[in-house]
Structure 1
Amino acid sequence: MIRHLRTPVLDIAYEESGPPEGLPVVLLHGFPYAPRAYDGVVALLVAEGRRCLVPWLRGYGPTRFLDAATPRSGQQAALGRDLLDFLDALRIERAVLGGYDWGGRAACVVSALWPERVAGLVTGTGYNIQDIAGSARPASAEQEHRWWYQYYFHTERGRAGLEADRRGIARLLWRLWSPDWVFDDETFEASAQAFDNPDFVAVVIQSYRHRFGYAPGDPALERMEAALAARPAITVPSINLHGGSDGVGPAAGSEGHHRHFIGPYERRVLPRIGHNLPQEAPEAFARAVLDLPAG
């Protein structure tokens, strides 16, 4: 059942499963995905007595902005602030956070800036806090090729393309990023419905422009972005899951990420798993959550 709560900025839609007294686990999806990616993970965690909360991020599904004047920002500080506000609204003092892609970024932001709120972290592809100041440095030709969609979104042609064909672009990215995962139309559509949100395009476009310094951020989040620019270390117990077949960020990319984690840290590479970690490998994702300290 879909529930709703209000934060200072959003009406956040989320699903809750498991015993109310269980250790809270907040699971966060990425782009272009949705809470359906966690269905298998949730079933496994609920069986172990965990309380699972899976929200739709800003710009996805039934989640809505409260004020038409609020910038439709997808910047990292916005995602982190939304997660902190979500915990506050539910009066959750400490939770395990799990996420990948945008959701992994939100989880890393809160883990770095508010570690007292985080019992443990499962992060897809490692340290997801962006180095915006260093974004002008080019990567290898192969990696730049993998980021084609980001450069496309930097243009007005890309904005129009996403507006006209949200599902077509998302389906292509699913295939490119998870080359060993065979998904059917029903599985895709169950998540793709979330892209019909009226703010989806604006939030996505701002996200991919802001991270390269091509779009301004929300003025209300400038102090958070300044803190994130320092690339703060993560002190909470953390497990980094990286798909061995990830088509957008190859596993080698997180080999050195241990330097960003100064608490207990483990890196697990999952063979033949792509970018959509929880949906492709629910057992491994759930196992990582359960292997974190329960306190």
Structure 2
Amino acid sequence: MIPSVTRSDIKLPGRAGDPDFHLATYQAGSGPAVVFVHGFPDLAIGWQHQLPVVAAAGFHAIAPDMRGFGGSSCPHPVEAYSLFELTGDLVALLDALDIEKAVFVGHDWGGFVAWAMPVLHPDRVAGMVGVCTPYMPFPSVATHTAVVDGDVERQYVSWFQIPDLAETVMDPHARTIVAKIMRGSAPLEQVYKHAFADGKLNANPFLNPSLPDGLGKPLLDESTFEHYVDAYSRTGYRGGINWYRNIDANAAAHPDVGVEPLDVPCLMLTAELDPGLRPEFAADMPERCSDLEMHMIRNASHWVQQEYPDSLNGYILSWLRRKF
């Protein structure tokens, strides 16, 4: 029998100086804890194909809307979204659920947060799974900007650094952004051609008018699509964008993250057709992870957890059963 997934608001007293700070959290099952950490512009519901399956295998599957997203608290200041705060939320979540250690599964930006856990909070980590995002330092803003010769309108990470601009442009267009972004794999040459039409990103890739709605198949059913639209229409994009505005501050405050060797069991799952987080980015992970298993999911896009859930779940469950 597949366990049902329930949603609840988990209060995290004292987080961000707010006594009412909370994370909207989806849970299923019991047993060893597995915490799924989403990225941008995603939500906890993006793990809907993993939560019940992992729970049915005998694990306690947990996925929060991370700080700044969905039903969770969305503080305004940029500094409220530092790596210290984001990993602190995960520790506080474990405390609230009376969990000593968990396996963390991170995708996209959530992968960088998850990979920071065994460095910043090693006593709370039983194991690590990276989905598309390898264990590496997040490239600096200057690195992103240099790729486009200093033209910030051609690189969204750099464009996001401009105070208040990205959210002002993006917030009125939640439905369009969800429709353009939450799509399956397409030939990389097509993706790159459309992403850099006329040599620019038309301010940012999430509203790029040259990116046709037909590039890659839609991944979301109607109900899930509306869940994303409703969430971003309500919160806007500021919270997630503020994660990007902390990149350089995070590197300065936590230089060991992405560099320090890890000795917990690690699983790295790459997606063959992810245009941003290329599989080759994980090539040197064996140098830093003493207990590492790696697999590439063929024909998969960046949203592999929704496009090829059976393949992803198979690798995760096989590894969990052997290691835990």
TM-score normalised by L of structure 2? 0.74
- The separation in 1 between residues aligned to 2:76 and 2:99, in whole angstroms, is 29
Q: Deviations over 1:181-203 (max 9, x none)?
A: 532561433333332443x5332
Shift of residue 241 of structure 1?
Answer: 0.8
8 Å contact kept, 1:125–1:241: yes
Following superposition, the deviation at residue 272 of structure 1 comes to 0.9
Rate the CA distance shift 1:33–1:203 in 2: closer, same or farther, 3 A: same
**In the TM superposition, what whole-angstrom CA distance separates every residue of 1:235-288 from its partner, at most 9, and x where no partner exists?**
210111111010222222222232232x31022111111111221222233233
Structure 2 residue aligned with 1:201: 237
Deviations 1:198-227 (A, max 9, x none): 3x533223222221x4xx67xxxx99x335
Counterparts of 1:146 and 1:260, CA distance in 2: 35
Contact kept? 2:152, 2:159, Cα under 8 Å: no
1:246 to 274, 277, 280: 274
Q: Which residue of 2 aligns with 1:14?
A: 25
| In structure 1, C-alpha distance between the alignment counterparts of 2:54 and 2:134, rounded to whole Å | 24
1:150 equivalent among 157, 160, 185: 157
With over 3 angstroms needed to count, the CA separation of the structure-2 counterparts of 1:98 and 1:131, relative to structure 1, is closer
In structure 2, how many angstroms separate the alpha carbons of the residues matched to 1:294 and 1:84? 22
Contact 1:147–1:248 under 8 Å retained in 2? no
Structure 1 residue aligned with 2:72, among 63, 68, 71?
A: 63
Instruction: Summarize the Cα distance change of 1:174–1:73 in structure 2 as closer, same or farther, 3 Å threshold.
Output: farther
Q: How does 1:91-102 map to 2 (within 5 A)?
A: 91-102=98-109
Asked if 1:231 corresponds to 2:259, the answer is yes
Between the aligned residues of both structures, percent identity stands at 24
Q: Is the 8 A contact 2:135 2:282 kept in 1?
A: no
CA distance in 2, matches of 1:242, 1:114: 25
- 1:190 equivalent in alignment to 2:197: no
The corresponding residue for 1:25 is 34
What CA distance in whole angstroms lies between the structure 1 residues aligned with 2:165 and 2:90? 31
Q: Secondary structure at the match of 1:204?
A: helix
Distance 1:34 1:11, change over 3 A: same
CA contact (8 A) 2:161 2:244 kept: yes
Judged with a 3 Å threshold, the aligned counterparts in structure 2 of structure 1 residues 95 and 147 are, in CA distance, closer, same or farther, namely farther
Contact 1:96–1:289 under 8 Å retained in 2: no
Q: Which residue of 2 aligns with 1:82?
A: 89
The structure whose RCO (Cα within 8 Å, separation 6+) is larger is: 1
Structure 1 residue 39 corresponds to structure 2 residue 48: yes
- Tell whether 2:8 aligns with 1:3: yes
Q: Which residue, out of 276, 282, 286, partners 2:309? A: 282
Q: Return 37-46 or 159-168, whichever deviates more.
A: 159-168
Between the aligned partners of 1:260 and 1:181, the Cα distance in structure 2 is 36
Shift in alpha-carbon separation, 1:194–1:228, aligned structure 2, 3 A: farther
The alignment's C-alpha RMSD in Å is 3.1
SS of structure 1 residue aligned to 2:300: coil
Q: Give the distance between the partners of 1:147 and 1:111, measured in 2 at CA.
A: 34
Structure 1 residues 82 and 153: alpha-carbon distance in aligned structure 2, compared to 1, 3 A threshold: same
**Rg (Cα) greater in structure:** 2
Deviations 1:32-51 (Å, cap 9, x if unpaired)?
11122212112221221111
CA contact (8 A) 1:33 1:192 kept: no
Instruction: Report the alpha carbon displacement of residue 107 of structure 1 after superposing the two structures with TM.
Output: 1.3
Instruction: Give the Cα–Cα distance (whole angstroms) in 2 for the partners of residues 188 and 32 of structure 1.
Output: 13
Residue type of the alignment partner of 1:204: G
Distance in 1, matches of 2:159 and 2:176, equals 14
Structure 1: gaps spanning 5 or more residues: none
User: How far off is 1:55 after superposition?
Assistant: 0.8
Is 1:168–2:173 an aligned residue pair?
no
Q: Select 1:125's aligned residue among 123, 126, 132.
A: 132
Partner letter of residue 12 of structure 1?
Answer: L
